[in-house]
Amino acid sequence: MGATPTGTGAPDGRRVDGISMRNLNAITPETESTSHYFWGQAHDFDVQNRKTTDMVTDQIRTAFLEDVAVFEAQQRNLEMIRNPPQTDINADTGVIQARRILDRLYKDEQAETAKTVAAE
């Protein structure tokens, strides 16, 4: 994400006198109900000023910890009901595709196992 003064051409890709930040969110499952969540933040403005870097990091950390509280509450709710119904929205496109792939792989694996058992 970034910002640049109005009228300098940002919609056309010109970032004259602008700033930008890059954010990394890497989530790795650990168990059925836990994950490791790694994040990183980089910025390209006032990089020699430790106070600016600390301010950016503190603000991102605050937002991250707010997200963690939501994730933990969601997990508690998911654990209350076995196989809860899912409501997908447009923002879930990646998750929907991942579920379809996993479902297909599971079905393929089950079919292959059934063939092996039948052949024995």
Nearest to residue 19, comparing CAs of 2, 41, 7?
2
Cβ partners under 8 Å of residue 41, min gap 6: 21, 22, 23, 24, 56, 57, 60
CA–CA separation, 95 and 87 (whole Å): 12
For 24-38, give the DSSP string. Answer: EEEEEE-SSS-EEEE
pLDDT, residue 65, reads 93
Answering whether pTM is above 0.75, one says: no
Order across the sheet with 35-43: list the strands. 2-3, 19-29, 35-43
pLDDT digits (tens, 9 = 90+) for 66-114: 999 999 998 998 889 888 888 888 888 998 999 899 999 999 999 988 8
Residue 115 structure tokens = 């063939």
Domain locations along the chain: 9-85, 88-120
